[in-house]
Amino acid sequence: MIALLIGTPQFFGHHCIMVCNNVGYGVSVGEKTAETLKTQSNATVYVHTHVREDAFELYGFLTSEEKQMFETLLTVSGVGPKTALTIADASPSKIRKAVEEADVSFFSSFSRVGKKLAQKIIIELKPKLGHFAELDLTDGSAQTQDVREALQSLGYDERAIAQALRAVPVDALPLQVAIKECMKILSRTA
């Protein structure tokens, strides 16, 4: 099993190849990890070796903590390595905070993660990461639902809406103001 690679990262499109002692290893990395590796001529990458019947894949991380979080995410049924890699790229501290706060919208903002899978991730990670707040299995407050529906009717993407709702204190504002504040955030990311 390959657990660590020290060498020169090279990129061909989105594919990372770690060249170690004249051997190139194809390693799947997250976007943030890729951006960091592109600036380095020599790097250390912590590797998770994922073996299936039809594949032998390497997933790379800048720290052992990121690798551990990735492996913890893989223990959740319904979360495969590509989804776990995308989530783990958000940083272990953000993931812990989202689990602590039972923040379904954080997880559902990632591709291939719907609300039910986001809830499942939180429920299954709680005992592995510690004792945290209770998960609210409802769709949020009535005000939050009204803002979400208004933004959906305007054609905004569900992931973008979830990110905007996390950034705006929806319940503390009048409905129209909350919608406008979310639209400001959405217009910046569009």
- Residue 41 CB partners (closer than 8 Å, separation 6+): 8
pTM: 0.66
**What CATH number has the domain bearing residue 54?**
2.40.50.140
- Is residue 153 within 8 Å of residue 124, measured between CB atoms? no
Q: Does 134 map to a domain? A: no
Q: Does 14 map to a domain? A: yes
- Residue 58 CB partners (closer than 8 Å, separation 6+): 2, 25, 26, 27, 28, 47, 48, 49, 50
3-state DSSP of 35-98: HHHCCCCCEEEEEEEEEECCEEEEEEECCHHHHHHHHHHHCCCCCCHHHHHHHHCCCHHHHHHH
Q: Does 69 map to a domain? A: no
Q: Which of 95, 84, 100 is nearest to 29 (CA)?
A: 84
Same domain, 48 and 84: no
Same domain, 93 and 50: no
Q: Using pLDDT thresholds of 50, 70 and 90, give the confidence band for residue 44.
A: very high
Same domain, 55 and 84: no
Q: Does 111 map to a domain? A: yes
Q: What totals of helices (H) and strands (E) does the chain contain, helices first?
A: 9, 5
Domain's final residue, options 105, 129, 153? 129
Q: Does 168 map to a domain? A: yes
Same domain, 56 and 8: yes
Same domain, 14 and 47: yes
Domain's final residue, options 61, 91, 107? 61
CA-based Rg of the chain, rounded to a whole angstrom?
19
Q: Does 185 map to a domain? A: yes
Q: Does 50 map to a domain? A: yes
Domain span at residue 101?
A: 75-129
Q: Identity (one letter) of the amino acid at 156? A: Y
pLDDT in tens, 136-170: 444 567 788 888 888 888 888 777 887 888 888 88
Q: Does 172 map to a domain? A: yes
Residue 91 reports pLDDT greater than 80: yes
Same domain, 146 and 125: no
Total structural domains within the chain:
3
Would you state the pLDDT for residue 139?
Answer: 52
Distance between CA 179 and CA 101 in Å, rounded? 23
Q: Which one has a higher pLDDT value, 151 or 79?
A: 79
Domain's final residue, options 61, 84, 109? 61
pLDDT in tens, 111-133: 889 989 999 999 898 888 754 44
Would you state the pLDDT for residue 137?
Answer: 47
* Secondary element (H or E) of residue 113: none
Residue 134 reports pLDDT greater than 90: no
pLDDT in tens, 10-33: 998 778 999 999 999 999 999 999
